[in-house]
Each structure stands twice: as structure tokens, then as C-alpha cells.
Amino acid sequence: MGGVPGSLAEERAQPVQPPWEVLPDYQCFGCSPHNPAGLRLRFWESVDGDGLEAPLVFGRAHESYPGVVHGGIVVTVCDEIMGNLLVLRTGVTHFTVTLRTRFLAPLAVGTAYRCVATVRSETGAGGQRQAAAEVLDETGRTVASATGTYQPASAEAVRQHFTLSDADRQLLDGAMSTSEHMRGRDPG
């Protein structure tokens, strides 16, 4: 899947690198370039600098009905971009608590879209954060939208859930603490 060549996002700047990219073989289904079955999403700062976006073109492997993108894949894209935006903004891993998606039109295989995510500035109970994502067609019309609630995880909690070697933990800790991608716009 990956980026859409010649898209506005790619013309603006270099892609934003999630901190996981320091790991030599991370296998995230959403954003890893190492996962041959994954979506291989690439992210850019949104045009207004207030969020994150990913250009999309879905292939036949992402299909449900003939020529129609499977809704679960669209939900995965929205969750992936919202979660990565929170990590990039805060330097803290966030786990999905709730996710709600609304489809306004079927997405077509082979058609260019972009997903744009933003984060709400207020923090909820227990430090939970809320984010929103929209999948837009080439005309800018919203074809799907999602909102999610995410729970920040302490470094110790992350260590309990992640399967990483000590060396990979150090690499990731360093990337999370020095990530300057979008940190200046922390919503909280």
C-alpha cells in the first residue's frame, strides 16, 4: 500500500518517522516497512501542521466486496494514524481503549485517499486522550471518520506488554525521549 506518489503530502516534506523505526525488524501491521502483509503506511504532518496524515491507495488484497475496501482495514488505518499521532506528540505509548467509526461512502480499491488525524487538547480521566481521523477522497469529501480514546502507558507498563530485547528497549526508549517530530505541538 504505502504512500501515493505525487500526493500533496509527499510534495511538502519528508515523512514523519514513528519512533518504532529505530527497531531493525518491527512488524507493525499498520506502519512497518518490514511486514510484507502489512499496510506500510507512511505519515506526514498535515497541511495545517495540526495533525498527521497518510496517503492511501488500497489494493485487491484489502477488498471485501469486489472493488470495495474492507471496512476493518479502514478502521485499522484510522486507529494507526491516531495512535501514532499521540505517540509523536507526547513521547508516550498510548493503547486504544475505544474506537468508533462511521462510513459515509464505500471506499474503492485503486482510488487515492488520505487519512488525516487530530488530537483533542483536553485530557480525560486517568490521562486518557481523544483523537479523531477522517478519510478523504481526492475532492476532499469525507468518506469515513473515526474517533478514539487512548490510554497512555507508563514505561514499565509498556515493558510488560512489548516483546523486546534489552537492546531494542534501549533503542526505543532513546527514540521516544528524543523524538522532536511533532513534540512542540503537544495538545495537553
C-alpha cell of residue 14: 519528508
pLDDT per position in the chain (188 positions), as tens?
654 444 444 455 789 888 878 788 888 899 988 899 999 999 999 888 789 999 999 999 999 999 999 999 999 999 999 999 999 888 888 999 999 999 999 999 999 999 999 998 777 788 899 999 999 999 999 999 999 999 998 767 766 777 777 777 777 777 777 654 454 444 44
38 phi, psi to nearest 5 deg: -85, 180
Q: Which long-range contacts (CB under 8 A, 24 or more apart) does 25-30 make?
A: 28/80, 29/76, 30/76, 30/77, 30/79, 30/80, 30/84
Q: Where are the domains of the chain?
A: 8-179
DSSP class of residue 50 equals: S
What is the per-residue pLDDT for 70? 98
Q: What is the CATH number that goes with domain 8-179? A: 3.10.129.10
- Beta-carbon count within 10 A of 188 CB: 13
- The sheet with strand 112-123 has its strands ordered as 44-45, 52-57, 112-123, 129-136, 142-152, 94-103
- Number of helical (H) and strand (E) elements in the chain, helices listed first: 4, 6
What is the per-residue pLDDT for 179? 56
pTM, two decimals, is 0.84
